Structure formats: C-alpha cells, structure tokens
Amino acid sequence: MVSRRLSVVIPAFNNADALMVTLASLTRQTMPADQFEVVVADDGSAVPLGAIVDRFADRIAVSCVRSEHNLGRAAIRNFGAAQAQSDLLLFLDSDSVAHPGLLEQHAAFHDSRAARPGVLLGRRYEIDWVAADALRRDEPVTPAMVDNYRAADSRDYHITLPQHSLDFKHVPWVVGFSHNVSIDRATFQAVSGFDEAMVRWGLEDVELCYRIFHHHQEDPDLFEYDPAAITYHLPHYRPTGLVFATMDNINYVTRKHPRYDFEALHAAGPLGEVMSRARQYRESIRACRQAGLGRPERLPAELRSTLSTGRVLVAGFGAAELPLGEGSHTFDHDAPPSATNWHLLGLMMHFFKTGQFETLVNIDMWRFFTPADLSAFITKGLTKADEIQLVATRTAISSESMLPLPFVSDVDYVVSILDSHFKVQSTAHEDVTIVSIR
C-alpha cells in the first residue's frame, strides 16, 4: 500500500459541474500528486459521479465510493473517511475549490505538531461570478476578485479581532466548519466521526468539533484557523428551507449536549459575539463557584421547604441534592448531567413546556448575565413558570472587581428596572435577598 501524507475526502450529491472544478484544482497542487489521495463519496446522486471522477485518475490518485441511497451530510463524510488511507484527513466540500497551496498548508500544520492531535480550519472565500468564471476556465483568482467587498470568509471579521482571537482558543468549535478542515485520523476515530443522526443541513461539523475539543480536555492549542489555507466557494442556489433545517439540528445538538456553552448558539449575533458569549458563560460559572456564590444551603428554611413539595426548576451548585417536588429539574454544574439535571444557565428554555414549573429559582448565576441576557431569561422563564425567584447571596463583591465579566452587585437597581414591567417583590433574609417576579 502506498503511504501518503494526506487523504482528501469530498462528499458529493448531484453537483457534477462543481465537483469537476474542485477536482481540477486538486491536480494543480504544489504538493506532489504521489503524496495525497482523493476520495469522492457519492451520496446517492441521481446520475452516479464515478465517470466524472475517472476523468482525473490519470493526474491524481482519486477514487469514487458510492452509496446507492442518500445518507445525509454526516454519514456520507464518515463513509468517505472510512475508505481513506492516510493518517491525516482533509474534508472539502465538492464546491470548495482548492488554492494551489491548500494541501501543503494543511500538511505543514500537522507536521509541525510532532504527532500531537490537531485540527486546522482553513479559509473559504465566498466568491461571486467573476472568480467562479476564472476557476471554471482553469485560470487563477486575482486579488481584485476576492476583495473585502465580495469574498471574505465570515470568520475573518470576527475571530481575527484581538478580543475574539482569545475567545477562539477557548471555544473554537463554534466556527468549526467542515468545508475546509483537516483532522488527524486518530482523533476522528476516537470521537466516532460525524453524528449520523444529523441528516439535515447544518451544524454536523460544529457538533463534531465540539466533541473533539472536549475529548482533548479543551486544549487551547488544539485548533487553529489559517487564513492562508484557502478554498473558493463556488456560487450556488441556496434553498430557504436549508436555513430553517438548521433549527432542527440546533434543537438536536442542544438536547444531546445540554451545557451552558451550547446556549450561546441560541443567542443572536455574529460569530465573534457567539464565541465571546460561550466563553463568558464558562468563566462566569467558574467565578460564581470560586466566589462561594450559588449555594442552595444559603436559602432560607421556608423556601427550601416550599421547594420540597413544589414543581420547581432550581439553578445552583448543589441544587441536585435538594429534596424537590415531583417533576422538578435542576441546573447543577457540580452534579453529573442527567435527565433531570442539565449544565445550563437558563438562557435556553425551549425544551420545557409552557407552565411546566410553579417556580424557577436561580441562585446567583443570574447575576453574571448581561442586561440583554437577564431580560431574555426573565421573558422565557415566565412562560415556563408562574414565578421567578432571583436569589442574591449577601456579598461585598463589587461589579468592578468581577471585570471583564458582568456582575450584579446592586440588586435594588435590578428591582427598579423590572418593577414597571412585572409584579416584583424584594425580600431580605439573613444571608440572601430574594427578588420574586410574576
């Protein structure tokens, strides 16, 4: 068997014209042709793609494996990867045309890691007609064809900013797109590849990168984004339904991973803001714990007694150990995840039914919400519970001392801004202040 540095895996479905342009680009690589292979995985195309692939077999080591039935984006990538021979897998979309230096960029990244696992996210220019015309004529793309007005990868505007480049190290999976990404085979196999339950469009790649990141204990050096590892995304028709299908997959992955970091995907905003929010959630949980906040034992005895008989949702460290009424749920980050305990903050509430709880109790974690997130938490929470109780443990911690995290130290101010919108009552107890909202 020939040893090759890299295997390119290309899923394809009914897009022969785009596939030909992509395969042609792989014949012009600076990496010698005997150092890589290409596996095209035909996902049940109406007209089999094998004949198209065979046109390039005299220039590169390329093969086509076909599923007679459409498997979906996740399963077909796994199918192609299973046929690949190299220890390094590069996933390209069939309409992601490779810059001549693309394969060398990916191989060099992994070579530099001395057998350590790694994931390289490459850049993809979103080109328009002029660059597409050049590529279809086998001509190079000029700088004018990919200027800032028409072609930049959306990640260029977000993760390369100083504040977001640090966020990227902590939550790189948010921008883990598989149209141009390389992964060492050992890692890909260790996490069992793409989740084949995801058959519709979108997020199967983000979910894979999420599992990879956590499999390697959130190593901040595991992922890298390389703007020099370039592909060009050919223009194509985008059915509106694909965007709506993404919501199905968001619901699936957030059920599969009921954690605070996936709550960020439900927040509106550009990629950089989503990454910042995911990182902020993680650091807020740590700060809340380190400050000795969020502890249910600080609750007054009468409230704990009410919780033991009520149908409640309680967020706090140790909440899962409380005696709670039947049908209750907890967000306890100190207890293992379970069917009734999720590692959320409370910003993602759509899995609960309207009116499912009598009371929603959040112990101090709410104090780390941004003003917009606190508003969203209250709005969503009051559709799931009759009453929200925001618990604030007495502390001398100031908002300024928690920077750069947001933190509510002045509870009276929160009461004042809510009072004109809801029925609000603030009650001081020995250790805590409880703000009840109806």
CA 198/CA 192 separation, integer angstroms:
14
Q: Is the pLDDT of residue 152 over 80?
A: no
- pLDDT for 86: 96
Same domain, 325 and 198: no
**Is the pLDDT reported for residue 31 higher than 80?**
yes
Distance of CA 232 to the CA centre of its chain: 23
For 34-72, the pLDDT digits (tens) are 999 999 999 999 999 999 999 999 999 999 999 999 999
The answer to the question of residue 271 being in a domain is no
Classify residue 245: in a domain, yes or no.
no
Which residues, in sequence order, are CB contacts of 196 under 8 Å at separation 6+?
Answer: 71, 72, 74, 75, 78
Domain membership of residue 338 as a residue range: 283-437
pLDDT value of residue 243: 58
One domain, residues 432 and 342: yes
Domain membership of residue 250 (yes or no) is no
Q: Is residue 265 part of a domain?
A: no
Average pLDDT over residues 19-48: 96
- Residue positions counted in the chain: 438
Under the banding of pLDDT at 50, 70 and 90, the label for residue 81 is very high
Q: Give the per-residue pLDDT at 34.
A: 95
CATH of the domain at 325: 3.40.50.150
Asked whether residue 83 carries a pLDDT value surpassing 60, the answer given is yes
Q: Which H/E stretch holds residue 108?
A: helix 102-111
Give the residue from 223, 239, 255 where a domain finishes: 239
- Based on the fold, state whether residues 230 and 334 are members of the same structural domain: no
Q: What is the DSSP letter of 417?
A: H
Strand order in the sheet with 312-315: 329-331, 312-315, 357-363, 385-393, 432-437, 424-428
Please name which of 271, 317, 45, 314 lies closest in space to residue 171, comparing C-alpha atoms.
Answer: 271
Residues 71 and 158 in one domain: yes
Task: Clarify whether residues 91 and 233 are in a common domain.
Answer: yes
Q: What is the pTM of this model?
A: 0.88
135 shares its domain with 16: yes
pLDDT greater than 60 at residue 338: yes
How many structural domains compose the chain? 2
Structure tokens at 330: 């907890």
Q: Residue 28's domain is classified under what CATH number?
A: 3.90.550.10
| Omega cis (within 30) before 140 | no
